[in-house]
Chain A
């Protein structure tokens, strides 16, 4: 219990401290230290769960089970490495005159607040608080997306706010409907929104209400996952915000939103006893994969391209959870982990690459490997990993998803394979000349942070070859839960 309080309390304390001193020179270090402490607390929480099993504490308001424990650790870890990356990145941005001290203070404070909302959304047992945390995450990131105050970034932030605001309002309506169904069984008051309680009585929940609720919840949280056709905000927000924000949006926020969808799916599935929720998720997932692959091949901006790649991967995961079953759900959970690590590593490399080239247009970024081999290798290895090349972890999860699809949903396999092929051709043909070829890049005033990139890629590589037994066991248990 003390661990949960620490995991949630540290980012809040960090946000408050950084709201006061975020403009000073030492602020990036404070940001790193707070993120590291949060990560350490999450590590302690994970160790506790390994030793003692699931937790349900503080008047049943918080819980940790195999499904959210690894996501908490992952969120804290990526939060920490991104803070490492953001230290040199933001200093260079300031040197280039794109930011001033006041904006940096806002950035640091909001970064911690965003971490807090993510962790709260994961740890809370109350579906109402989950909604509140998701909305708060939107609000925190809106300010981060518009940090540069350029016309394009304001437009992106406005679009993000309005679209996700409308989306989350739908999710709130879904939550109200869920509460309405549960209140008749569990009585009024706090109990009827607690996920563990709902999970206990899911067989008796009214199916008509739940199916309607699920539509609203999927559309609502699906907007935040970036599922097509609700994805419009995502490429803009990724391309126009600072790169550390793109990394945490892709690596963490999308995962947490998907987590919310899957939690709701478990309840609906238990009540409906039919394939309604599954088919809906498979449909949205497949549509996202295909549409994102085509749009991806038309991009000229490097961050937009990788944003579309995130939509594609979220589609794959949604499709996997839609298929269900022990193997597909296992693969979905693995894919959530490896996508989050790989995509944030790519954004770290991309961030420094765009700083070197002074532009985000892919045609003008050339020859990274000659001027800075580390960035070049990071980008090319990250791209190969995200495209599903063995022996990286993405290959393992995509392979499992594809083979399951061939067996259970053969009609979907050509779409999946085709989309993956298009994405491969598009991304690889663009990354290759950026990394090799003639150079135009300039020197950076500070040393780029490349350690996080290679740490992430090493973990992804490890997960492709060997999954630690406790993690595999959590995946298996969570897959059973998801069904």
Chain B
């Protein structure tokens, strides 16, 4: 077996960090810490993108890394924190989720993603191909997080971290999407976040809480 160049090893390391952070987010019940973890995930993504850019001489990936850094490490966590402060739900703790069970489901999802990604990874010519499974796993884990959470802000963090997983998939499998597409996606994420910010206030105003258990009125055949 040939040894990988240093940068490839670094990328694999960061991929592992990314997956670990996904699990940590799945287990985290405090909103404030959840956002820190989300920021850390964004940082890992940004650094790994920069390393891919350096190692494979793909200058446009530096832009992508910079974009991730500004948007996902600085801007979005800042916006989320500001929102939480304004809404005064800092100590919002999630109840009612069974963390061990969720973690077990998470492990099953990871195994599933690795199996799914295996045939594709073998086709990839990029040095980072081994990480495609990890990217898919973190998308799945974020998806799981969105399903299991009952409060608005953790759901949104799950949504954003899913976007992280997708970007990681794009860099690891293909060295990034065309720039215009990446810019479009980043714009959508940012606008989406702003809309959600407005939305939180509306939900709060109507329900006096960001707990989504109040929002189960619209069911089949009961209205």
Which residues B72-128 have CB closer than 8 A to chain A?
Answer: 116, 119-120, 123-125
- A161–B195 Cα distance when bound, in Å, is 10
Query: Which residue of A158, A172, A240 contacts B152 across the interface (Cβ within 8 Å)?
Result: A158
Q: Are B177 and A193 in contact (CB under 8 A)?
A: yes
- A152–B219 Cα distance when bound, in Å, is 11
- A319–B119 Cα distance when bound, in Å, is 30
Which B residue's beta carbon lies closest to that of A183?
B174
- A159–B217 Cα distance when bound, in Å, is 12
Q: Are A304 and B174 in contact (CB under 8 A)?
A: no
- Assess whether A165 is interfacial by the CB under 8 Å rule: yes
- Assess whether A93 is interfacial by the CB under 8 Å rule: no
With a cutoff of 8 Å between Cβ atoms, the chain B residues found around residue A161 in the complex are 192, 195-196, 199
With a cutoff of 8 Å between Cβ atoms, the chain A residues found around residue B191 in the complex are 136, 139
Q: Are A236 and B120 in contact (CB under 8 A)?
A: no
* Interface size of A in residues (CB-CB distance below 8 Å): 51
Interface of A is mostly: helix
- Assess whether B40 is interfacial by the CB under 8 Å rule: no
**Given A155-B215, A165-B192, A176-B174, A128 and B166 contact (CB-CB distance below 8 Å):** no
- Assess whether A143 is interfacial by the CB under 8 Å rule: yes
- Assess whether A156 is interfacial by the CB under 8 Å rule: yes
With a cutoff of 8 Å between Cβ atoms, the chain B residues found around residue A60 in the complex are none
Q: Are B166 and A173 in contact (CB under 8 A)?
A: yes
Q: Are B123 and A152 in contact (CB under 8 A)?
A: no
- A15–B223 Cα distance when bound, in Å, is 35
Per-position 1/0 for A119-139, Cβ under 8 A of B: 000000010110110011001
Q: Are B180 and A126 in contact (CB under 8 A)?
A: yes
- A300–B220 Cα distance when bound, in Å, is 10
With a cutoff of 8 Å between Cβ atoms, the chain A residues found around residue B123 in the complex are 184, 206, 208-209
Q: How many A-B residue pairs have CB under 8 A?
A: 136
Which A residue's beta carbon lies closest to that of B216?
A155
Q: Are A158 and B212 in contact (CB under 8 A)?
A: yes
With a cutoff of 8 Å between Cβ atoms, the chain B residues found around residue A240 in the complex are 218
Q: Are B169 and A193 in contact (CB under 8 A)?
A: no
- A157–B212 Cα distance when bound, in Å, is 13
Query: Which residue of A132, A142, A177, A209 contacts B181 across the interface (Cβ within 8 Å)?
Result: A132
Q: Are A152 and B199 in contact (CB under 8 A)?
A: no
For the complex of A and B, 9 pairs with smallest distance between CB atoms? A128-B181, A132-B184, A155-B215, A135-B188, A190-B178, A180-B173, A180-B174, A236-B218, A151-B206
Apart from A131-B184, A146-B199: 17 A-B pairs, beta carbons within 8 A: A126-B181, A128-B177, A132-B184, A139-B192, A142-B195, A143-B198, A146-B202, A152-B217, A154-B203, A157-B199, A161-B199, A169-B139, A172-B185, A190-B178, A208-B119, A208-B123, A240-B218
Which B residues contact A (CB, under 8 angstroms)? 58, 116, 119-120, 123-125, 136, 139, 143, 146, 152, 155, 159, 162-163, 166, 169-170, 173-175, 177-178, 180-181, 184-185, 187-188, 191-192, 195-196, 198-199, 202-203, 205-207, 212, 214-218, 220-221, 223
Query: What are 24 A-B pairs at a CB distance below 8 A?
Result: A129-B181, A132-B185, A136-B191, A149-B202, A152-B218, A154-B202, A155-B217, A158-B199, A159-B218, A161-B192, A166-B146, A169-B143, A169-B162, A173-B136, A177-B120, A180-B173, A188-B58, A188-B175, A192-B178, A193-B177, A208-B123, A209-B123, A236-B218, A300-B223
